[in-house]
Chains A and B, each alone.
Chain A
Amino acid sequence: MLFNSLEFFIFLPAVVLLYFLIPHKWRWIWLLVSSIFFFCYFYYSTYIPGKVPFYYYIFVAVALLSVIIVNYYIALRIEKCRASGSHTGSLYVFIGVAFPLILLFIFKYFNFFNQSIAQIANFLGLRYPSAVLNILIPVGISYYTFHSLSYLIDVHRGTINAERHLGIFSLYMLFFPKIVAGPIERAKRLIPQFYEEHVFDYQRTADGLKLMAWGLFKKIVIADRAAIVANEVFNNPQGYFGIYLIIASLCFIFQVYCDFSGYSDMAVGIGQLMGFRLTDNFKRPYLSKSISDLWRRWHITLISWLRDYVYIPMGGNRVARWRWQYNIMVVFILSGIWHGANWTFIIWAAMNGFYQLFSIWTNSIRNKFTSFIGLSKVPKLHNAIKIINTFLLFTFAGIFFRANSTSDGWYFITNLFTGFGKLMKIVIALDYEKLRLLLVPQNKVTFLGFSKPAFFPEMITLFLTLVVWGAIEIIQENSSRPLRIIISEKPWYFRWALYFGMLFALVFLGVYSNQQFIYFKF
């Protein structure tokens, strides 16, 4: 079930209403049943008879159930070993960590590795039977695997106690607002909340609904509109030249942020309706002043997961300089692999890792240079340049994130500026007719994914909504108080005008094509 589907807008009120109507001791059962329904409905709505055999779905269900049960029992064992001082705890941790990782490898990475080995073998002239495992990648597998790993490691470290209630533990793994695309919640933060008795609170519910509306705005008004242009060009990059490749790259970078942060806002908002506090996954990353700053604000729950369970155990920055840089690169490459079994994700992550290392290497030179040209004396301009620079670097790397293949990504980056000379000549000559003939393909009824008459209004809509979104991000960035508090202090007519504007935009400017969220496939 998608958060932006009609079914969900029937499902959610029913879940929330009944949640508050039933006694606290039964609520976990209701949430668990709802979460299982939510998860199953997702498969039901995407099931195409004949295309994927039904037993694949059984595999998916069994995999998820086995991860829950194995983790539950192993965590109890680990805790017992910890209490008794037995060393077999480490063996249990190994089994508990290996089990979901093996499943993740089989479902998500086996084909990728197998085909990569086959390509290398082919290159070396060796024979390698590269059979493709025809399986369905379970929705949310990367998320629930990371949930289960952090839980086991935390139990082993003694940060948390093993959960004794199988139902609550299952709910921790399956809780519907975060099962398919995060946020990756730590057990320490989420499990105690299932024991808390939540009462209906008007202000909290209203804030949750507003956050959901804002998330939905980012998803259906901005991301899904930008996606039309990005999909058109990224699916056929060879059919376009420079300016279009740049437009598509920009559209994609706004799409991916608005799509994922929109989903995360909705997830947090849904949790809030029932009194749960989920972790914010984004903190205005496109206003970051450096790549390392951006990665502290982007997909926060994944990056903090990698920091706590990979980077710090590897020594973090408290090791030799080369080792520290090695650790950074490993974490970035892992985040790329986490996103998907494709070289494009690995290249994207490696580029981001390289940016970070490059910024470390050039830090003192850059500081001297900015002092020399006097830029450091104008901090606002300096910050603006840093923000734009960071955004452009991230956009450039983002080409590989979206490209369908490494060759497409390569085509993109090597053709970003083709045709600019011709374009500039026409622009300087102010020859509108020539410009139109150059930019608008005459033998097609569509233009960048839209019908020709719809293109301009759609682009203006995208631009205006991006301006609104950008303004709100800047206000939030520069304010010490949350925006909802600032709004709540305004007169009622001002608030209602804002709410009306938001609803109007959702109803009249939303793209209602039930597009999936990008991060569902991870």
Chain B
Amino acid sequence: MIPAAFEYYRPTDMDGVLAILAEHGDDARVLAGGHSLIPMMKLRMAEVPHLIDLQDVGGLKGITVEGGTIRLGAMTTQTEIIGSDTLTAAAPILREASLQIADPQVRYMGTIGGNVANGDPGNDMPGLMQCLDATFHLIGPDGTRYVAARDFYEAAYMTDREDDEVLTAVSFDQPVGGYAYEKQKRKIGDYATAAAAVQIVKEGGKCTSASIAMTNLSDTPIYSQEAGAALVGTVVDDAAMDAAVAAMLGDIDPTEDNRGPIEFKRHVASLILRRAIARAWSRA
């Protein structure tokens, strides 16, 4: 649990960050809250000769809700998300999900940017961002580009972000309708055995749109388009729920670990999704 030697940088602006990244390529990594990267360094699973701390870089924090768009600066912590009345009014699923991340000590440090950028399949925010169809803002030597959360994840810890890029913000349209973030875990601080993020729009008693994403059931978050589609046009009855669950089960690919065998995980995924849909529907 002792990391290898590394150089520590604490630049005060993004140009400074990008310059270090340009110089050292994949030998450099940026540090946000540190709750994923530092344990990996201690376990020597991540060797980071050049560590760039983002905490003094201006402009990376903050929550704005403007013109139907919500933007979260990468260094916004989970505690700040939980405490923001504006955000909770605009997108209550963020608070519901954040309260299910670890414990207050972790949430004081853990950030939205770190949570989504690291590519850890156990993290909750990537699936949630896919459910909300969020856009990730990546700044690099050639300026800023925008990547859909649904296109960002390639494999465990592998994402579309280039080594010389920094994720600066996430943004998404203010969600409408009912919502739910449902998670089963063994204990506080554990990754999900299964988790589901659901947003549902109800008009005239029927579902007009639904978005569903699952967490820790594959080596990336799983946005299940077909699961959402299975609900559209229905009154979200048992048959629709069955169809959505069946579609979701077709998209996930869990592996066995101490949380249980594959069969159990698929069972819990079904159950969690049913509960999430039911709760979201009741709020729609």
Partners in one complex: no
